[in-house]
Structure 1
Amino acid sequence: MGHLVTLATCSLNQWAMDFEGNLERILESIRIAKEKGAKLRVGPELEVTGYGCQDHFLEGDTYLHSWEVLAEILKSEEAKDMILDIGMPVMHKSVKYNCRVIIAEGKIVLIRPKIFLANDGNYRELRFFTPWTTRKVEQYYLPRMISKITGQTLVPIGDCVISTLDTCVGCETCEELFTPASPHIAMGLDGVEIFTNSSGSHHELRKLNTRIDLIKAATQKVGGIYLYANQQGCDGDRLYYDGCAMIVMNGDIIAQGSQFSLRDVEVITATVDLEDVRSYRARMVSRGMQAENTPAYQRQEVKMALTHSYIEDDIHIRPTKLRAPFYHTSEEEIALGPACWLWDYLRRSKTAGYFLPLSGGIDSCATATIVASMCRLVVKEAAEGNRHVLEDARRLAGDQNYTPTDPREFAGRIFYTCYMGTSNSSNETRQRAKDLAGVIGSYHTDLDMDTVVKSIHTLFTFVTGKSPKYKVHGGSTTENLALQNIQARLRMLLAYLFAQLLPWCRNVSGNLLVLGSANVDESLRGYLTKYDCSSADINPIGAISKRDLKRFIAYAEKKFEMPILGDFLDAVPTAELEPITKDYVQSDEVDMGMSYDDLSHYGRLRKVSRCGPYSMFSKLVHEWGDDMPPTEVATKVKRFFFYYSINRHKLTTLTPAYHAEAYSTDDNRFDLRPFLYNASWKWQFNKIDKQAQELERLTREKELNSQVD
């Protein structure tokens, strides 16, 4: 009948420093795994503390409370008759490590520190932890509170594997899967059949396939069963950890969890046959030759079996069938990821809802549609009996008997929108904003702020004796920009005023979180006013490109049955901060001097491909060479870097945004660059100009030679 084993991995919505809540979710995941017949349960990276504690990992309290939580797990009924792989920070010899703690039979079997730390992009693990040395094993003195429970004083800490009566288990942690010399290779050659990987991996658009491909390739190459666990949800920062726990065997997916979910605990299990691993490995003679020459890992023995007994192992226990991997489209990712992130922020901040300045443009439209998607998810989870979602929805509604059944009705309780018009606003944008609010169900207000704007004009004129004019009325560029910025910054002031007092007007307690809606391309170009209504509490689209937002709106128009969204797709993007005349209507792309598509391209080259001005020109002159001469490409590149440089200071004050794109402009963590530049880039631009002129000279010579021939 083979050697059947049921294994469990999970996605947990952990919250940084929420030790009590994190413990509850860990215990619940163990209970569910046990109910499903699993003997091994794997949890996410640093699940005891939450992954995103940041500098709290430098505090001794964090380590003390982690051991206190582990003590509760050891004492629990849930921990009996299972092997548990728990993630927490551990201090050894006054050095801090990111560890897996392996528990079996009520005792700690092994503390396995992370060997390769993530230290790029959003990750700064080397700031908090030290990498462990490969194959090193030492003894760790347990805290007395743990010794009283387990009767142990010393346990091994290091790069070991776990040997049970019937198989062998080895641990990887997140980044170790992504490195060229991943530990699973040597472990697999040394006979490890089950690999665990505990991760704190965040969502980016179109990123999941990379993770799945790596896991499939790992087991396809070395053979074995791979249990991937991940955090899910907002940990209190810009990132959304996107779950998708999975079980893979010999290169094939056996089980895959959800990528976006409002559930706090999701456990997936699979029953697999260890003989399939052994047979898979035996087919390759060269693997045996490499295994013979692989240094052996130190094994920590656990005197229990993971496989089902022969009595149980009958026709009723069957291996889980293979399945194809599931991927969301990028439009679905935008609809789901930021929506789940917004729900976590709303419920954990204990505020009354969200407030959004709704301009009638596509960016605020996309933000509002994401909130609508959040409301749809809440209604769906409530209908499926999600106790946590129902409790939070009732708190927001102020009614302990309330059950959300209609997304529009629920939006009317927690979502507030406002159109802040001036004499420069058009009837079209005002109507689009009103119609969209009606379709979503938000509590909508409409105002004209001309009297407030005029009072600022009057005050300035009274103090200085000068009266600035718009450009279309004969004013200078300086006057024109200043008059636009007055409107933009007043909208931020009014947004916070209304966010604080609108619930009070409806006899609702609490205030609202203000949503921003500047996209990543505008931020990259600096096409926003510092401290205007792009300054908010959080921004769900701040790392999403204009191109992706348009595709999302086209998707939502049909998926959410919101025909009004088509009107936003057809509208020309405009800030509406200048007077509309017979001959002039303000346009974003004209103002910026570049298209949104070009901006997206510049952003990926600058951040993802790590291009400076010259290398960006070198790439684009080949890519765009058939459509424009090198000197025009040079002009475009120089224009981008000039405006990026003079506006870089704005990015230091950007609203915290959902991280969704590899060229996010988040200055506080992801995109660490100076904010005071010599915007002339004299050396770099001179080299670009010389190269462009030389390329055009060579092109002319080639054309002349071809004519002579």
Structure 2
Amino acid sequence: MHLITVSTCALNQWSLDFTGNRSRIITSIVQAKAAGASLRTGPELEIPGYGCADHFLEGDTELFSWESLAEIMKDDRTSDILWDVGLPIAHRNVRYNCRVHVYNKKILLIRPKLSLANDGNYREMRWFTPWTTRKVEEYFLPRSIAKITGQIKVPFGDAVISTNDTCIGAETCEELFTPRGPHIEMGLDGVEIFLNGSASHHELRKLNTRIELIREATLKSGGIYLYANQQGADGDRLYYDGSATIFVNGAIVAQSSQFSLNEVEVVTATVDLEEVRSFRSSKARAMQARETVGYQRFPAGMSLSSDIDEFDPTLAPSKEIKVRYHLPEEEIALGPACYLWDYLRRSKQAGYFIPLSGGIDSCATSVIVYSMCRLVHEAIEKGENPLVLADLRRIAGEEEDSTWSPSSPQEIAGRIFHTAFMGMEKNSSVDTRKRARDLSAAIGGYHLNFDIDTVVSAVTNLFSAVTKFTPRYKMHGGTNVSNLALQNIQARLRMVMSYMFAQLLPTVRGRTKPGSLLVLGSANVDESLRGYFTKYDCSSADINPIGAISKTDLKKFITWAGKTFDMPLLETFVTATPTAELEPIGGADGYIQSDEADMGMSYNELSVYGRLRKVDKLGVYSMWSKLVHEWGNLLSPQEIYEKVRWFHWCYAINRHKMTTITPSYHAEQYSPDDNRYDLRPFLYPPFEYAYTKIEKTLKAMGAAATKKPEVKGQKED
């Protein structure tokens, strides 16, 4: 046996927080050493934080990163262990995303990233340039670093590190996801340990893909793979979900949490180099390895394994463990909750405020806040992370010498979570008002219940006085335009009232320290895609935890939460008819406004349209073609065309709303977020060319275009 102990980590880094980021890096190295590790790797661009975006274009970001690296190297606690960190480095006036490998105050290698993430949420090509495979040059160190290392220049490029007992190579995040990842060639050239510093964001059901890619990276030709990842909200719409792992020959032996309030999580494993060598004994691999172009190797002058030759019975290889996956419902409960906690504590505000409607969306957002309170309370109860209690006391407005500690999640919610039902006497039902009140009580929130009729009347009366025109609801003889205008003014006034209450409620409740409440939005991804909300209404908020989660997933989440959190009242939200309650209830036919009736499509259909449009990248004609096959057992081609056409008409006329939508927690691949994820026009021409093509196809189909599909089990007359 040839045993070595290695560590990887998940760090809650914050963009441009050089002091905090440096502290967390040092802590992770110290913890790795304490666990007996001789090698530690960390997340991508961990020194400045991954999400600096256009700040990477500023010279200050690189300067401060080098200064932080100098402080890490000078700290004696980081000696006697091989470690690497990520930072931006300009070489010959070209900026690269790099890993710097260090041992005992010496830089062994600077390894720039070869393949940059440049789609979806990522724009690395905007700030960095990819390096060339196998190319190695000399890099002249900044004087501040040279004083510490005693080195003038170090190797810069696609190379590997040799210790006295093994060989180590590195790849960075996206390179794992590419068809020809560097680990393939490195493994064939004898590299036995692979390091991957990543900043991979959370997305529902995504972890499985990442885990299987890491497994495959070592399953074909063996090896030890250390995957590090950022964890937490670093200042943007993304939540990085940790799950740092260690794999050996396709088997996982260590995994950190996917969702956590901890700022530093280090996982360690003891692995046997001889297992890798034995795994690689096949002749087929040997033939390919013989033909592989070798990497330049740079010596570390140290061994990862102990110098003691005697057999140590207390040291044994780490055993294979089972990968921990969360249900999608758990991911919704935990991911946005951790994000909300990071956002709240780092914004230094006094809590959250949400306008409750009595519907499932604001209910789901509130339950996510409750999940956050549960996580905070659990962390305080465990006592392993004193920073959580310190942050909570500060958020709640406690004095520095306070000894207050919450006894339950509800007590936390009572201090930092505020809700309000802003009803209309004729439009709001007793049921929705009661559901909102009961939900807030179950969570422990500070709840207000009031009507906004007088405010709405004041605005509409002013309009009538100025224009001599009195708008009416459609059921009262008004037009579609006036009907919509009366709905919109209610929605927009709720936004105005939300911000007023959010700003002043802490003062009303006796808070003496600075801080207001952050307003939470609760428009789901399907409504955003359809444009089924009022621009600048109460969906306009500071952040939206569910803005990229589908209605279908939210319903499943609420059902799950009702059982898991012992909140049976949540089932009433699932069974209630989704309604905006912006039109009067009643009339001759007992009218009750319905969201799906207003939209002209179901939430399930919206999820399908969203995935076909964004994930499958289908236009109008291609979407219709595919749906003819997928929905052909239920609808005729003509009916499917009418549905596709209606969706695209609604989508096109409402796309402008995405330019002002509340920043949302990213959780779904078909999010229509206009900020950087879904880059499309917001002023569309009619899709007449596509419509004409479909209509020609339908005409050519003849009677088959309108033929109803035969329902299984029935016969035609």
Normalised by the size of structure 1, how large is the TM-score?
0.98
- Equivalent AA in structure 1 for residue 696 of structure 2: K
Structure 2 CA distance for aligned equivalents of residues 666 and 152 of structure 1: 47
**Is the Cα contact below 8 Å between 1:614 and 1:688 reproduced in 2?**
yes
Give the secondary-structure state (helix, strand or coil) at the position aligned to 1:185: helix
Residue 402 of structure 1 and its aligned partner are, at CA, apart by 1.8
- Equivalent AA in structure 2 for residue 484 of structure 1: Q
Residue 391 of structure 1 and its aligned partner are, at CA, apart by 1.0
Determine whether 1:682 maps to 2:682. no
- Which residue in the other structure is 1:697 paired with? 703
- Equivalent AA in structure 2 for residue 619 of structure 1: K
- Equivalent AA in structure 1 for residue 323 of structure 2: P
Structure 2 CA distance for aligned equivalents of residues 97 and 354 of structure 1: 39
- Which residue in the other structure is 1:595 paired with? 602
Residue 118 of structure 1 and its aligned partner are, at CA, apart by 0.2
**Residues 701 and 119 of structure 1: CA distance in aligned 2, closer, same or farther (over 3 Å):** closer
**Residues 511 and 702 of structure 1: CA distance in aligned 2, closer, same or farther (over 3 Å):** closer
- Which residue in the other structure is 1:470 paired with? 473
Determine whether 1:228 maps to 2:227. yes
**Is the Cα contact below 8 Å between 2:139 and 2:154 reproduced in 1?**
yes
- Which residue in the other structure is 1:656 paired with? 663
Structure 2 CA distance for aligned equivalents of residues 523 and 30 of structure 1: 44
- Consecutive aligned runs of 4 or more in structure 1 exceeding 6 Å deviation: 699-703
Structure 1 CA distance for aligned equivalents of residues 410 and 309 of structure 2: 54
**Is the Cα contact below 8 Å between 2:637 and 2:706 reproduced in 1?**
no
**Is the Cα contact below 8 Å between 2:655 and 2:683 reproduced in 1?**
yes
- Which residue in the other structure is 1:548 paired with? 553
Structure 2 CA distance for aligned equivalents of residues 29 and 698 of structure 1: 66
Structure 2 CA distance for aligned equivalents of residues 696 and 538 of structure 1: 51
**Could you give the per-residue CA deviations for residues 559-597 of structure 1, whole angstroms, max 9, x where no partner exists?**
000011011011000000001114211000000000000
**Could you give the per-residue CA deviations for residues 536-557 of structure 1, whole angstroms, max 9, x where no partner exists?**
0000000000000000000000
- Equivalent AA in structure 1 for residue 689 of structure 2: W
Structure 2 CA distance for aligned equivalents of residues 439 and 645 of structure 1: 40
- Which residue in the other structure is 1:426 paired with? 429
**Residues 411 and 104 of structure 1: CA distance in aligned 2, closer, same or farther (over 3 Å):** same
- Which residue in the other structure is 2:413 paired with? 411
- Which residue in the other structure is 1:567 paired with? 572
**Could you give the per-residue CA deviations for residues 27-68 of structure 1, whole angstroms, max 9, x where no partner exists?**
000010000000000000000000000000000000000000
Q: How does 1:117-136 map to 2 (within 5 A)?
A: 117-136=116-135
Structure 2 CA distance for aligned equivalents of residues 328 and 517 of structure 1: 23
**Is the Cα contact below 8 Å between 2:635 and 2:708 reproduced in 1?**
no
Residue 370 of structure 1 and its aligned partner are, at CA, apart by 0.1
Give the secondary-structure state (helix, strand or coil) at the position aligned to 1:187: helix
**Is the Cα contact below 8 Å between 1:9 and 1:228 reproduced in 2?**
yes
Structure 1 CA distance for aligned equivalents of residues 190 and 664 of structure 2: 45
Residue 695 of structure 1 and its aligned partner are, at CA, apart by 3.2
- Which residue in the other structure is 1:516 paired with? 521
Structure 1 CA distance for aligned equivalents of residues 50 and 694 of structure 2: 44
Residue 398 of structure 1 and its aligned partner are, at CA, apart by 2.7
**Could you give the per-residue CA deviations for residues 208-229 of structure 1, whole angstroms, max 9, x where no partner exists?**
0000000001100121000000
**Could you give the per-residue CA deviations for residues 197-249 of structure 1, whole angstroms, max 9, x where no partner exists?**
01000000000000000000110012100000000000100000000000001
Q: How does 1:129-168 map to 2 (within 5 A)?
A: 129-168=128-167
Give the secondary-structure state (helix, strand or coil) at the position aligned to 2:55: helix
Residue 77 of structure 1 and its aligned partner are, at CA, apart by 1.4
User: RMSD between aligned alpha carbons?
Assistant: 1.4
**Is the Cα contact below 8 Å between 2:636 and 2:706 reproduced in 1?**
no
**Residues 344 and 312 of structure 1: CA distance in aligned 2, closer, same or farther (over 3 Å):** farther
- Equivalent AA in structure 2 for residue 414 of structure 1: I
Structure 1 CA distance for aligned equivalents of residues 558 and 295 of structure 2: 53
Residue 694 of structure 1 and its aligned partner are, at CA, apart by 2.9
- Equivalent AA in structure 2 for residue 473 of structure 1: H
**Residues 592 and 698 of structure 1: CA distance in aligned 2, closer, same or farther (over 3 Å):** closer
Structure 2 CA distance for aligned equivalents of residues 293 and 78 of structure 1: 42
Structure 1 CA distance for aligned equivalents of residues 315 and 433 of structure 2: 62
Structure 2 CA distance for aligned equivalents of residues 702 and 96 of structure 1: 60
**Residues 384 and 696 of structure 1: CA distance in aligned 2, closer, same or farther (over 3 Å):** farther
Q: How does 1:420-459 map to 2 (within 5 A)?
A: 420-423=422-425, 424-459=427-462
**Is the Cα contact below 8 Å between 1:630 and 1:693 reproduced in 2?**
no
**Is the Cα contact below 8 Å between 1:3 and 1:308 reproduced in 2?**
no
**Is the Cα contact below 8 Å between 1:378 and 1:404 reproduced in 2?**
no
- Which residue in the other structure is 2:614 paired with? 607
Structure 1 CA distance for aligned equivalents of residues 72 and 45 of structure 2: 15
Q: How does 1:218-367 map to 2 (within 5 A)?
A: 218-282=217-281, 284-310=282-308, 313-367=311-365
Residue 361 of structure 1 and its aligned partner are, at CA, apart by 0.2
Give the secondary-structure state (helix, strand or coil) at the position aligned to 2:674: coil
Determine whether 1:488 maps to 2:491. yes
**Residues 407 and 696 of structure 1: CA distance in aligned 2, closer, same or farther (over 3 Å):** farther
- Equivalent AA in structure 2 for residue 601 of structure 1: V
Q: Structure 2, unaligned stretches of length 5 or more?
A: 710-714
- Equivalent AA in structure 2 for residue 303 of structure 1: G
Give the secondary-structure state (helix, strand or coil) at the position aligned to 1:610: coil
Residue 697 of structure 1 and its aligned partner are, at CA, apart by 3.2
**Is the Cα contact below 8 Å between 1:517 and 1:539 reproduced in 2?**
yes
- Equivalent AA in structure 2 for residue 362 of structure 1: I
**Residues 501 and 700 of structure 1: CA distance in aligned 2, closer, same or farther (over 3 Å):** closer
- Which residue in the other structure is 2:34 paired with? 35
- Which residue in the other structure is 2:641 paired with? 634
**Is the Cα contact below 8 Å between 1:393 and 1:403 reproduced in 2?**
no
Residue 468 of structure 1 and its aligned partner are, at CA, apart by 0.7
**Residues 702 and 591 of structure 1: CA distance in aligned 2, closer, same or farther (over 3 Å):** closer
- Equivalent AA in structure 2 for residue 38 of structure 1: A
**Could you give the per-residue CA deviations for residues 481-525 of structure 1, whole angstroms, max 9, x where no partner exists?**
000001000000000000000110011131000000000000000
Residue 308 of structure 1 and its aligned partner are, at CA, apart by 2.4
Residue 307 of structure 1 and its aligned partner are, at CA, apart by 1.0
- Equivalent AA in structure 2 for residue 374 of structure 1: M
Determine whether 1:622 maps to 2:622. no
Question: Equivalent pairs: percent with the same residue?
Answer: 64
**Could you give the per-residue CA deviations for residues 631-680 of structure 1, whole angstroms, max 9, x where no partner exists?**
000000000000000000001111000000000111011000000001x3
**Is the Cα contact below 8 Å between 2:16 and 2:52 reproduced in 1?**
yes
Structure 2 CA distance for aligned equivalents of residues 234 and 173 of structure 1: 20
Structure 2 CA distance for aligned equivalents of residues 384 and 590 of structure 1: 48
- Equivalent AA in structure 1 for residue 2 of structure 2: H
**Is the Cα contact below 8 Å between 1:86 and 1:100 reproduced in 2?**
yes
- Which residue in the other structure is 1:49 paired with? 48
The alignment of Structure 1 onto Structure 2 pairs a total of residues equal to: 702
Give the secondary-structure state (helix, strand or coil) at the position aligned to 1:111: strand
Residue 163 of structure 1 and its aligned partner are, at CA, apart by 0.2
Structure 1 CA distance for aligned equivalents of residues 373 and 336 of structure 2: 12
**Is the Cα contact below 8 Å between 2:637 and 2:705 reproduced in 1?**
no
**Residues 418 and 616 of structure 1: CA distance in aligned 2, closer, same or farther (over 3 Å):** same
Tell which deviates more after alignment, 651-660 or 500-509: 500-509
**Residues 464 and 248 of structure 1: CA distance in aligned 2, closer, same or farther (over 3 Å):** same
